[in-house]
Structure 1
Amino acid sequence: MSSNGSTSMASVCSGILSMMDAGVPIKAPVSGIAMGLATDGNGKAIILSDIQGIEDFAGDMDFKVVGTTRGITALQMDIKVKGISPDLMAKALQQAKTGRAKILEHMLSTLPEPRPELSPYAPRIEKLMVNPEKIGAIIGKGGETINKITAETGAEIDIKDDGLVTISAVEHEAIQKALEWVKSLVEEPEVGKVYEGKVVKIMEFGAFVNIMPGIDGMVHISQLSDQRVEKVTDVVKEGDIVRVKLVAIDDRGRLNLSIKEAKA
């Protein structure tokens, strides 16, 4: 394959159309054009629009201009002369504006706006900030946890030192599953919230329930039921899955849970 024009500007235009076709909600479409310059060495200069390969090779300038209908978003220039005058620069920019508008008009005649739904083949990206102290919970010992998440969901996970977690996947279900998994690992206990947890230990005065990875709270015997409870095991046993409400976190960080209030 070969090209007789600016491949970078073709990439800009085709890339925008591809994103619009994929349903990416861009702020505004852009178009690009490559401008050239031909001089005779005696002060005469001509600005060229949408230069071809030979004009780039033999000419004195390759000036790429990209932008929306509202203005320029990117510029890049290569020149073979010592410089160009402000007048020539102004002319090149104005000529590029006319060219960009014409190109953009043709692009929008093909696809006037992004498609309303994201393509099923478009990669999805979700980001969330977590407490940097929780990064270890996501990674796990020797990377065990993060490897398990990526293996079971098919999503890719990148974690920055400041706590920014980026999750990407092609399928929406994969990214949602990975996102919920990560959230469950870094979630902080919230007073007043009802959790579903597993009874992990029985004591005479109550039961300990695991409500999050690595986080247990205690249900006092008085909070097991609306009725008087003689023995904890009359209501719950180890391994039971129960709904509990986090009623308080004491000054030592201990979680006080209630099965009774979770039913209210």
Structure 2
Amino acid sequence: MSAAQVRVGVGGWTFEPWRNNFYPKALPHSHELRYASRHLTAIEVNGTFYSTFQAPTFAKWRDETPDGFVFSLKAHRSTTHRRELATAGDAIERFLASGLAELGDKLGPIVWPFMPAKAFDPADLEAFLSLLPSELAGRPLRHVLDVRHPSFDCEAYLQLARRHGCVTVHTDSPKWANIVDAQAPFAYLRLMRSQAALPTGYPPQALDDWADGCRRWTAGARPRDAFVFFINGDKERAPAAATALLERLGWRPTVAPE
């Protein structure tokens, strides 16, 4: 059996409409992370893009979630939302030193979100990627680049990202470049087309296809991990889409302790 794994989740865990179709209605808000982390296998945290969190917060998330669960964190906007990425050194250091290491082995990929208007500039990007450390507190880091300008959809960009061990977000959104890198060391998908009219957000055949793709990616001669997040679209259906994909992959939720 392949050691490669598929992690499936949503963006965040606090969203009021989820109390009608994912969380039990009587569940206290303070128990939402505990519940979500036992019905999903990963969560992408968007809050770290807007705010700076402290070590006790990351430690609390670590302690509330089960073994094997991971958090993917969006890097703070100060690191990438700037005209020259090469100047981001201090911001990168502040973000990484804010307490992320408290997550331990629950720290998943770090997503570096670029401005949609930021075009591919090889020299500037190379300088930025050179600032990204390969480890944090002795643990290897996985870096994901969320590039959105169509100029990134080229072999020169992919070669540069690979040279620095970085993976590119693949999305099904019609708004952004849908970049595919079959040579990436792991896969990172942000699926953004869930539909409110469908109970599972995506049509059954589409979920079957994503599941087949995950199986192929994690098997074969070069098994690699995959991270799949249902983000945006009709967000109220994101947990249903994630749990439906997990079911297709043979994963079942665990019971949260009282």
Which range, TM-score by smaller chain? under 0.3
TM-score, length basis structure 2: 0.23
Higher-Rg structure is 1
After TM superposition, the score normalised by the length of structure 1 is 0.22
